[in-house]
Amino acid sequence: MSVPSPTPNHLTGAEAMVRMLQAYGVRHMFGLCGDTTLPFYDALARLDHGIQHILTRDERHAAYMADGYARVTGRPGVCEGPSGGGATYILPGVVEANESSIPILAITTDVSTASRGRYPLTELDQVALFRPVTKWNASLDDAARLPAMVRAAFRAMTTGRPGAAHLALPFDTQKNAVDEAEIWADSKHRSFPAERAAPDPVAISEAARILAKATNAVAICGGGPVIAGASAPLARLARTLELPIATTVSGQGAIAETDPLAVGVVGSNGGVPSTRAVIDEADVILFIGCRAGSVTTERWRSPPQGRTIIHIDSDPEVIGANYQTAVAINADARLALDALAIAVAGQPERNRQHGTSRAARAWAGKLANFRPLANSADLPIRPEAVIQALQGALDPDATIVADPGTPCPYISAHYRWRQGGRHFITNRAHGALGYALAAAMGAHVGRPDVKTVALMGDGSFGFCCGEFETVVRHNMPITSIVFSNSTFGWIKAGQHAGFGQRYYNVDFNRTDHARVAEAFGVKSWRVSDPAELPAVLKQAIAHDGPTLVDVLSQPLHEAAAPVSEWVA
C-alpha cells in the first residue's frame, strides 16, 4: 500500500489524528495493532510527534494502562485498538474508567464507511457498543469534522464529572483529507478536572452553619477530592472544626492516614467495627465526592437514615440519590472545600468535633485486631503479614495498585498511607479481575520516578500474565505480589459466609507464579514462610527491573478479612 499524498495544506485523517493528539499534549499511548489501524500506525511511524506508543498484548490492558496513567498524571489517558474483537476487548477498561470518573480516550479504528452493511470482516456498530459506557462517543465518518470531534471528546472527558470518551475511526476517514488549519486544541482540556464549577454561596453558608452547630460531625471522602486535588482545603476545614475525616476505598489519599484526624476507610470493604462506630455515632455527615453507594454505606445501613446530610459532588445526579440531603453543593470538590473552610472559619461560634480522639479510637480498635495477625507465624501466610512487610519496605511516595479479591480489603484497611494524594489505585467501579498489573504499568509510565507495586490474587494473575512480556520489553521496575491460594477467594468467602459453606466451582490448581514470571524474564521469588517476607520484599523492591513475589497465602474464607458481610 502506498503512502497517502495529501494536497498542500491538507493532511490525511490518520495524520490529523496524530497531530490532534500532539496538540493536546499526549505523550504516551497504549494499544494493539490491527488491519483497520494500518493508516494510523503508518502516520505514527512517519510523523515527528513525540508520542511514545506502547504495544500491549491485548486491548483490555491497553485501556487499563490508560486508566492508571490518567490517575497519576492528571491528564487524559489514550488507548487504541482495531475494529471487531479489538473494540470488544477494549470495552472493560473504558467501563471502569468512565464509572470511576477517570478520562480516557479510546480510539478504535473501523471498517470503511462505504463497506457498511456489506458484511465486511470485523464490522459492528461501535457507536452503539460504546454508548452505554462512555460520557461521549462518536464515529468520525467525515474527515473534515475530525479535529472538531476530537476537541469535543477532550472537552467532554475533562469537564464536569470527568469520564471516558470513544472515537471510532473508519479506514476511509484515515485516508481522506483534513484541512491543516483545523489542527488546534483548547489548552484547558489537556488536564482534568477542567473548567471547575464553583459552589452556590447560599448552599455554602447553610452548610457552614450546620457544621458549626454539630456536636459529632464526620466527613466521608470518595474519589472526588483525590481527583480534584482537594487535600489542602480539606485539611483546613478539618483543622478548623477538629473534624474527623473518613474515606472510601477510592477516596484514600484525600488525607494522609497518619494525620491525627484521619479515620481511615469505612464501609463493607476495609471498614471495621471501630471505624463504623465513628459514622454511626455522627449527627452530621458531610459526603465529599462520594456516591454513598452500597460498599461505602454497608448497603445503606451506615450512616443510618435520619442523619443530617451535606453532600458535595460535581455530578448533580449523585446528590440525594441514597440519602435525604439537607444541603446539596453541586461543585468541584476543591472549590467547594475552599469556600466551606472560609465560611466555617467565619462562624461566630463553632463546636469542636473532637475528631482527634474519635479517629484515635478508630485506629486503636483496628490495630488491636491487625497486629497479632500481622505478626503471626501461621501457615499459609496471613495476608496481614504481607501488608505489614510491605509497609516497612516502601517509601511514602510509592504507588500501589490492587486488584479486587484478596488484596483490596487488606490494603484498604491496614496499609497506612503516609502522604495525601494519588498513591493508591484500585478498580472499585466494576471490580474486574486482572486490572492491577496493567494499571500499574500505566502508573509507572506516568510517574516513573517512584516505585510502583501491583497486588493481585492468583485468579487475577491468570487474566493478565501475558503483559509481563510488555513489562520486560520496556524494563519497567514494577514489583508484583501474588496472593496464591488456588481459589477465586472472594466468591468462596461469600459461599462460606452466606451459603452454608457449600463451595461450588471456585477452586483451581496452584500455579508456580514465580516460574511463570521467570519465563517472561521477571526476577521472581516464592515465599511460604512469613519470616522470609520482609527481606524478600525489600530485595524485590530494590531491584532495578521487573520483579514478582509469589506468596503462598491464606484464602479469604479462612481469614479475618475486613469485610463486614462475612464477619456478620
How many helices (H) and strands (E) the chain has is answered by 22, 20
Are both 36 and 162 inside the same structural domain? yes
Are both 314 and 244 inside the same structural domain? yes
| Burial of residue 260, with CB atoms counted within 10 A of its CB: 0-12 exposed, 13-18 middle, 19 or more buried | middle
- List, in sequence order, every residue forming a beta bridge with 94; answer none if it has no partner: none
- Look at residue 568 in the predicted model and tell me its pLDDT: 58
Are both 267 and 332 inside the same structural domain? yes
* 350/215 Cα distance (integer angstroms): 9
Q: 468-527, pLDDT tens digit by residue?
A: 999 999 999 999 999 999 999 999 999 999 999 999 999 999 999 999 999 999 999 999
Q: 373-408, pLDDT tens digit by residue?
A: 999 999 999 999 999 999 999 999 999 999 998 999
* 225/204 Cα distance (integer angstroms): 17
Contacts of 508 (CB under 8 A, 6+ apart): 459, 486, 487, 488
Q: Of 305, 323, 358, which residue is a domain's last?
A: 358
* 529, part of any domain: yes
Please count the CA atoms within 13 angstroms of the CA of 226 that sit on its side-chain side: 29
Are both 324 and 409 inside the same structural domain? no
Are both 138 and 207 inside the same structural domain? no
* 363, part of any domain: no
Q: 201-216, pLDDT tens digit by residue?
A: 999 999 999 999 999 9
* 495/177 Cα distance (integer angstroms): 59
pTM for the whole thing?
0.97
Other Cβ atoms less than 10 A from the Cβ of 555: the count is: 23
452 DSSP assignment:
E
* 4, part of any domain: no
539: amino acid identity, one letter? Q
- Enclosing domain of residue 120: 10-190
Q: Between β-strands 308-313 and 52-55, what pairing exists: parallel, antiparallel or unpaired?
A: unpaired
Alpha-helical segments (H) within 199-332 = 201-213, 224-228, 231-241, 273-280
Q: Give, in order, the Cα–Cα distances in Å from 262 to each of 243, 259, 534.
A: 9, 5, 27
Contact in structure between 88 and 56 (CB atoms under 8 Å) = no
Which candidate, 155, 146, 137, 190, places its Cα nearest to that of 39? 146
**Residue 2's pLDDT band (boundaries 50, 70, 90)?**
very low
With residue 223 as reference, give the H or E element that holds it.
none
* 52/34 Cα distance (integer angstroms): 18
- Look at residue 405 in the predicted model and tell me its pLDDT: 87
* 227/372 Cα distance (integer angstroms): 35
* 351, part of any domain: yes
Are both 527 and 417 inside the same structural domain? yes
With residue 337 as reference, give the H or E element that holds it.
helix 333-345
* 214/205 Cα distance (integer angstroms): 14
Percent helix, strand and coil across the chain, each rounded to 5? Answer: 45, 20, 40
Q: 464-474, pLDDT tens digit by residue?
A: 999 999 999 99
- Look at residue 6 in the predicted model and tell me its pLDDT: 56
Q: Is 252 helix (H, G, I), strand (E, B) or coil?
A: coil
Q: Between β-strands 10-12 and 165-170, what pairing exists: parallel, antiparallel or unpaired?
A: unpaired
Are both 91 and 125 inside the same structural domain? yes
Are both 258 and 302 inside the same structural domain? yes
* 364, part of any domain: no
Contact in structure between 394 and 541 (CB atoms under 8 Å) = yes
Q: Of 294, 323, 358, which residue is a domain's last?
A: 358
Asked if pLDDT for residue 74 goes beyond 50, the answer is yes
Are both 394 and 283 inside the same structural domain? no
Phi, psi of 299 (to 5 degrees): 60, 45
With residue 3 as reference, give the H or E element that holds it.
none
- List, in sequence order, every residue forming a beta bridge with 30; answer none if it has no partner: 54, 79
The count of structural domains within the chain is 3
Q: Is 338 helix (H, G, I), strand (E, B) or coil?
A: helix
* 563/282 Cα distance (integer angstroms): 22
* 314, part of any domain: yes
Are both 455 and 518 inside the same structural domain? yes
- Look at residue 1 in the predicted model and tell me its pLDDT: 41
Contact in structure between 305 and 238 (CB atoms under 8 Å) = no
**Residue 119's pLDDT band (boundaries 50, 70, 90)?**
very high
What is the pLDDT averaged over residues 334-346? 98
Give me the helix-helix angle, 355-374 and 383-393, nearest 10°: 110
Are both 172 and 210 inside the same structural domain? no
Q: 259-286, pLDDT tens digit by residue?
A: 999 999 999 999 999 999 999 999 999 9
Give me the helix-helix angle, 355-374 and 273-280, nearest 10°: 160
Output the 3-class SS for 459-510. Answer: HHHHHHHHHHHHHHHCCCCCEEEEEECCECHHHHHHHHHHCCCCCCCCECCC
- Region for residue 512 given its phi and psi (left: phi exceeds 0; alpha: psi -120 to 50; beta: otherwise): beta
Which CATH number fits the domain that encloses residue 317?
3.40.50.1220
Are both 230 and 350 inside the same structural domain? yes
* 237, part of any domain: yes
Which CATH number fits the domain that encloses residue 404?
3.40.50.970
* 165, part of any domain: yes
Q: Of 155, 190, 225, which residue is a domain's last?
A: 190
Q: 214-249, pLDDT tens digit by residue?
A: 999 999 999 999 999 999 999 999 999 999 999 999
Contact in structure between 297 and 322 (CB atoms under 8 Å) = yes
Grid cell 484515635 is found at 360
Asked if pLDDT for residue 255 goes beyond 90, the answer is yes
- Look at residue 307 in the predicted model and tell me its pLDDT: 97
Contact in structure between 435 and 99 (CB atoms under 8 Å) = no
Q: What's the chain's Rg over C-alpha atoms?
A: 24
